[in-house]
Amino acid sequence: MENPVKAKLLRGELSLGGWLNLGSPLAAEVMAAAGYEWLAIDAEHSPFDIPLIADTFRAIEARGAVPLVRTWDHDPVSLARILDAGAYGIIVPHVSTARQAEALVQAMRYPPVGARSAGTGRVAVYGDDYRRNANDAVMIVPQVEDMEGINNTEAIMSVEGIDVGFLGPGDLALSMGVDRGHPDHEKAIQTFVSGCRKAGKPYGIPERDLEIVRKRIREGFTFLDIASDLRTLEAAVQDVLDQART
Per-residue pLDDT tens for 202-237? 999 999 999 999 999 999 999 999 999 999 999 999
Query: Burial of 63 by CB count in 10 Å (0-12 exposed, 13-18 middle, 19+ buried)?
Result: middle
As annotated, the active-site residues are: 45
Sorted by where each begins, the domain ranges of the chain are 4-245
Is residue 92 within 8 Å of residue 122, measured between CB atoms? no
State the CB neighbour count (10 A cutoff) for residue 24: 17
Q: In this structure, what DSSP letter does residue 110 have?
A: -
Can you give the pTM of this predicted structure? 0.95
Name the 3-class secondary structure at 25. helix
Nearest-Å Rg of the Cα atoms of the chain is 18
pLDDT per residue as tens, the chain (246 positions): 899 999 999 999 999 999 999 999 999 999 999 999 999 999 999 999 999 999 999 999 999 999 999 999 999 999 999 999 999 999 999 999 999 999 999 999 999 999 999 877 888 888 878 988 999 999 999 999 999 999 999 999 999 999 999 999 999 999 999 999 999 999 999 999 999 999 999 999 999 999 999 999 999 999 999 999 999 999 999 999 999 998
- Number of alpha carbons in the 13 Å side-chain half-sphere of residue 98: 13
Please tell me the distance from the alpha carbon of residue 178 to that of residue 165, in angstroms, as a whole number: 22
Alpha-helical regions (H) of the chain:
4-10, 25-34, 50-62, 76-84, 98-108, 130-137, 147-151, 153-157, 169-176, 183-199, 210-218, 229-245
Instruction: Kindly indicate whether the domain formed by 4-245 is annotated with CATH number 3.50.50.60.
Output: no
